[in-house]
Every structure is written in structure tokens, then in C-alpha cells.
Amino acid sequence: MSSITVRDNPENDTVEIRFSDEPTDGPSEPYIRSYNNTRDNAFGPLDAFDCEYIFRQTSRAGPELHRLGSILWCHAYLQLCPKSCYVLENQYGTAVGYIIGTSDTSVMAHVMRTDLVDMLSDRFTQVKTDDPPEVVALKGSIVTGDCSMLLRKPDLLAQYPAHLHINLLPEYRKKGWGAKLMKVFLEKVKRLGARGVHLGMHAENTNAKRFYERLGFRQCEEELDGGLSGEMGRIRNAICMLKKLD
């Protein structure tokens, strides 16, 4: 029989959760903990490097878009809302999965436009004449804080204000860690006041869709693209999933 040990540290608002009978002070199976953004060496927060690696391994964007994509879909959250970011750490102290997001998408978008852009060098924000269209689009999203499919749907956003991204390295999938990460994240954003959560995903990622549906998410049933795709809850190749938080 496995047990759950939760170490809550209210002083810095972090949490550590272990799901086994293993002693908690030695190497054991992976466990979930808050994202650690402290700079304990010259290279900056180690978690950020691990998260970048996880992002690159799981991203559907081509390698040429990895840097910009990781800013928009990964580092923006680690920098701007670290308190609602969690990692799965393996026995070697490496983050091998993450769930990152915000309890309030409107605030996130605003802070991206103001603070994030100031943190970045021009090469990530200024469009060059020879930039391909995908690069122009990503730079545009960073500069305008375009972090969610619901930003142009204020009524829906008010009902589902939180949003998230979740990724695990292949060898840690299908072992229940995704569901556990989701539970920790949803509890956090609920405590922060969110009554619902949404996410955007690639329409062809049927594995992820089944995972989300298993956890109670449903595809948005409103038109998001003015009828272009002919499908509810879709914008180009992305679909929006929703879940109420009771």
C-alpha cells in the first residue's frame, strides 16, 4: 500500500508531495514539488534548464521555433507565475515533467505585455525583414501577451480564467504522473480563486485529448474562429479544452 506525504512550506508557498512508502530523505521514486526558481549557481535556476529540455523534447514546433516557443509556452510561466508551476523530479534531482500555468489568464497576458517584453532582448521581440511567417507570428504573440485561445472571448474567459501546459518526458508517461500533476495544479489555481480552467492543444494530439477527457475536460462548444474551421472550440490547428472547478 502506498502512502502520500505532503510537505507544505507556507513560508515560501512551496509544496513537496511523495506518493510512496519510501523514506523521504533518500533516493526514491519521482515526486512532485513546486518549481524552484532560486539561483543557486552561476547558471540560474536549474529547473528552468530542465523545463526547457522537456519543452524541446515534447514540442511539436520545429527546432527553429524552439527558442521562441519555449519563451511563449514555458519560460513566461516560470518567470511570471512560478507559484503555480510544478515539476516531477526523478531520483537524480532532474525535473522530468512539468505542469505550468496561471490562475488568471488576463493578468498573465497583461504582465507578458509589460514585464516579460522588458526582460527579453530585441531578437526575441523585433520582427526582421527575413523572418519566416511562423517566427513573425510567435514574436507577435510574445509582444502582445497572446497566451490563450480565449483572450478574445471575455465571457468564456471569465468562466475558465486559469490555463495550463503539461509535458512529461516519454519514459515518465502513462504511469499516473500526469493526473497527479494536474491534481496539484488544479488545487492551487482553485485556492487562488479560479472557477474554471482551459487549455489549448494541437488538434491532432489525440493521446493528450484522451488524457484531458479522462480528467474531466471537454472541448469548448463555442465558435472561436468566426466559423473558419467549421468546428466548435477550434482556431486553425488548435482546439480549446475546458473544465469547471467545483
Ligand X SMILES: CC(C)(COP(=O)(O)OP(=O)(O)OC[C@H]1O[C@@H](n2cnc3c(N)ncnc32)[C@H](O)[C@@H]1OP(=O)(O)O)[C@@H](O)C(=O)NCCC(=O)NCCS
Whole-angstrom distance, CA of residue 162 vs CA of residue 198: 6
Asked if 236 is part of the footprint of ligand X (rule: CB under 6 A), the reply reads no
Q: How far is the CB of 63 from ligand X (least distance, A)?
A: 17
Asked if 98 is part of the footprint of ligand X (rule: CB under 6 A), the reply reads no
- Amino acid identity at 235: I
The three cell numbers locating residue 43: 547558471
Whole-angstrom distance, CA of residue 124 vs CA of residue 144: 13
- In the region spanning residues 189 to 208, those forming contacts with ligand X, defined by CB under 6 A, are 201, 205, 207-208
Tell how far CA 220 is from the center of its chain.
Answer: 19
Asked if 179 is part of the footprint of ligand X (rule: CB under 6 A), the reply reads yes
Q: How far is the CB of 196 from ligand X (least distance, A)?
A: 17
Task: Write down the residue that cell numbers 505585455 correspond to.
Answer: 113
- Amino acid identity at 143: V
Residue number with the smallest Cβ distance to ligand X: 178
Stretch that binds ligand X, among 19-27, 62-70, 176-184, 188-196 (CB under 6 A): 176-184
- In the region spanning residues 35 to 54, those forming contacts with ligand X, defined by CB under 6 A, are none
Whole-angstrom distance, CA of residue 161 vs CA of residue 189: 9
The three cell numbers locating residue 193: 480563486
Find the binder of ligand X among 95, 96, 167, 233 (CB under 6 A): 167
Judged by the rule CB under 6 A, the positions of this chain that interact with ligand X are 58, 166-168, 173-179, 201, 205, 207-208, 210-211, 214
